[in-house]
Structure 1
Amino acid sequence: MAGRYARLVKIEHSVFALPFAYVGLFLAAGGWPGLGKFFLLTVAMVAVRSYSMAMNRLADLRFDRENPRTKRRELVTGEVGVPGAALFTAGCAALFVAACAGLNTLCLALSPVVLVWAGFYSLTKRFTWMCHFILGSVLGLSPVAGWLAYEPAFSVRAVLFGLGVTFWTAGFDILYACQDVEFDRQHGLKSVPARFGVGAALAFSSLAHVNAVIFYALAGWAAGLSWFYFLFFAASAGLLLVEHLILSENDMSRVNMAFFTINGVVAAGLGLGVLLDIFV
């Protein structure tokens, strides 16, 4: 049963946000933050991401039933029932709040705001093509959350990393949305590809990733990181370039590789760069 719910929320996609939460945590601590903080932050991040994804699956169920690309999703096939998914969503929200309570009072106070914002994203494709940037802002909270988990005070360094994550996520989500451009248009759903076309969407995504690279560089500079970080930063920037070179308006066949494989490596690489800079 656990496997069905893990597939429902694509638990493996936690690789996108979790490394950046650790970036914020380890930068705030200036080293190892302690097992308690590390464990509670991990629980909180996995719980809120699972909550957000489950909310998205529930909100989009009527569209997923009609979209050929999503007809094998667990809620559509009945592998996971709607009542079970709703209970799972509520459980993830409760677990997130409990983990935040274990971290500090500021994290606890902000936890309802995070839940509302993370859930709100699922509705935005109904009314704005900026939905990709709203999703980006949800993941962009990751390094800020990691910092606050250790030090309950906002930091420019964490915010700069958060802005990098925001634009990076928006960029690859725009690419992913290119798969559904015709379906979205037919069903009145908003996205950059549906509004402007695939060619313009590729340009939007490229611009978003240029902004991401700039913010990641500024974040490394503001945090006083050394060549260890910037070596991984350069490799990640190169991978983002590759991501755009392998896709074109006339050939989006490798969009899944660009979405998961390349961006998973980018997230892990930047996180590893920060950790090596701190500990080596």
Structure 2
Amino acid sequence: MTTQPAHGAVADALPSNWVDRRAPAAWRPYLRLARADRPIGAWLLFWPCAWSAGLAAVASGASWPNFWHLALFAIGSIAMRGAGCAYNDLVDRDIDAQVARTRSRPLPSGQITAKQAALFLAALLAVGLAVLLALPAFAILVGVCSVLPVALYPFMKRITWWPQAMLGICFGWGALMGWAATFHELSAAPFALHAAAFLWIIGYDTIYAHQDKEDDALVGVGSTALLFGEKTRPILAGFYAGAVALLALAAHAAGGGALAFAGVAAFAAHLCWQTVRLDIDDPALCLKLFKSNREAGALVFLGLVADAALRF
């Protein structure tokens, strides 16, 4: 029988995380449910939104992305990442109980009940709705269209080898939002940006999924890690190359200059490093490479911001 981490901590959270060290004890199960002890997911949800705001600034001639939009996207990313995790854990609690890395999560470990998790999910969704309603009408419409893929995502692993593709649609949706909020329409640039985010997300979530491939195979759920197997490295290189090409296309369509393309080039170099370093049989390295995509996303955003601010 597997021993649970002390004091209800989740197995794959860093021992020094702020939730386990500083949060009130009564709050900890809910913060763990929302993955507040592992903020990488909020960053990865935020970056496509920030890219879109940066790309809109480049296209509109503004010297900086819209601060209000960025603030809303930051709050929304935290709330909706938490809501997505709570929803996913409610749907997957029986599966999570059978997987070594996830059985210590609040629901399968009994730290909170399904009813409590559902109420917490409703509160997070209310925050997300408030953020969405603060955006212009067209952006609200674009945001509402994301509800169906988000609702379907937890079920994809049961029926397909490609749950990472549905995650790419969901986590990449923000690539449309900044542009929609700025221009009240969509065009080639944000669609290329969404496609780039889609391929990037499939790539990094495949790396992440290699941590659980043995358990996933035993439980009977699908993932691209299982599908690609020993061919992961060349396939990952293909997805990442496509993401870089589409990012360059988005920057070109928005009228980006040299600094925007420098950000894309830095992003490409980071993805090359990930691909070269990858060892699919080293779960700790897979987690490290997955988390490094926070910095990869920042490189693209910084390039767009610099291009908008320093264009000659």
TM-score, normalised by the number of residues in structure 2: 0.81
Is residue 28 of structure 1 aligned with residue 53 of structure 2?
Answer: no
Paired residues, number: 278
Write the letter of the residue equivalent to 1:268.
A
1:122 to 150, 154, 157: 154
1:82 to 114, 122, 130: 114
Greater radius of gyration (CA): 2
| C-alpha deviation, 1:173, in angstroms | 0.8
- Conserved 8 A contact 2:280-2:286: no
- In 1, distance between residues paired with 2:63 and 2:123? 32
Q: Deviations over 1:177-233 (max 9, x none)?
A: 12222222222201123234x212333322211111111111122222222222222
State the Cα distance separating 1:68 from its structure 2 match: 0.8
Secondary structure of the residue that 1:126 maps to in structure 2? helix
Q: Which amino acid aligns with 1:27?
A: L
CA displacement at 1:250 relative to structure 2: 4.7
Measured after TM superposition, the shift of residue 32 of structure 1 is: 4.1
User: Per-residue deviation at 1:5?
Assistant: 3.0
* Alpha-carbon displacement from aligned partner over 1:120-154 (angstroms, at most 9, x marks no partner): 11110000112111111111111201211222201
Structural mapping, 1:253-264, within 5 Å: 253-260=284-291, 262-264=292-294
Give the percent of matched residue pairs that are identical in Structure 1 and Structure 2. Answer: 27
Following superposition, the deviation at residue 34 of structure 1 comes to 5.0
Taking the aligned partners of 2:299 and 2:256, their CA distance within structure 1 comes to: 15
Match of 1:14 in 2: 42
Distance 1:140 1:265 in 2: 17
Paired with 1:164 and 1:54, the residues of 2 have a C-alpha distance of: 27
Tell me the TM-score normalised to structure 1 length: 0.90
Mapping of 1:262-273 within 5 angstroms?
Answer: 262-273=292-303
Of Structure 1 and Structure 2, the greater helix share is in 1
Amino acid at match of 1:269: L
Mapped partners of 2:263, 2:53: distance in 1: 19
Q: 1:231 to 1:27 in 2, by over 3 A?
A: closer
Aligned to 2:13: none
Report the equivalent of 2:307: 277
> 1:36 Cα shift?
3.9
Aligned equivalents of 2:237 and 2:35: distance in 1? 26
Q: Give the secondary-structure state (helix, strand or coil) at the position aligned to 2:210.
A: helix
Cα pair 1:178 1:201 within 8 Å, conserved: no
Residues 41, 179 of structure 1: alpha-carbon distance in 2 compared, 3 angstrom cutoff = closer
Measured after TM superposition, the shift of residue 58 of structure 1 is: 1.4
Question: Superposition RMSD on alpha carbons, in Å?
Answer: 2.1
Aligned partner of residue 123 in structure 2, secondary structure:
helix
CA contact (8 A) 2:204 2:290 kept: yes
Per the alignment, do residues 251 and 28 of structure 1 end up closer, same or farther by CA in structure 2, a change over 3 Å counting? closer
CA distance in 2, matches of 1:159, 1:211: 14
One-letter code of the match for 1:17? L
Answer yes or no: is the 8 Å Cα contact 1:23–1:271 preserved in 2: yes
Match of 2:245 in 1: 214
**1:101 CA drift (Å):** 1.8
Q: 1:76 to 1:162 in 2, by over 3 A?
A: same
Cα distance between partner residues in 2 of 1:244 and 1:27: 26
> Are 1:225 and 2:259 counterparts?
no
Gaps of 5+ in 2: 1-25
Cα 1:25–1:178 change in 2 (3 A) is same
> Which residue is equivalent to 2:102?
70
Which residue in the other structure is 2:91 paired with? 59
1:203 aligns to what?
234
| Cα deviation, residue 238, structure 1 | 1.2
Letter in 1 for 2:265: A
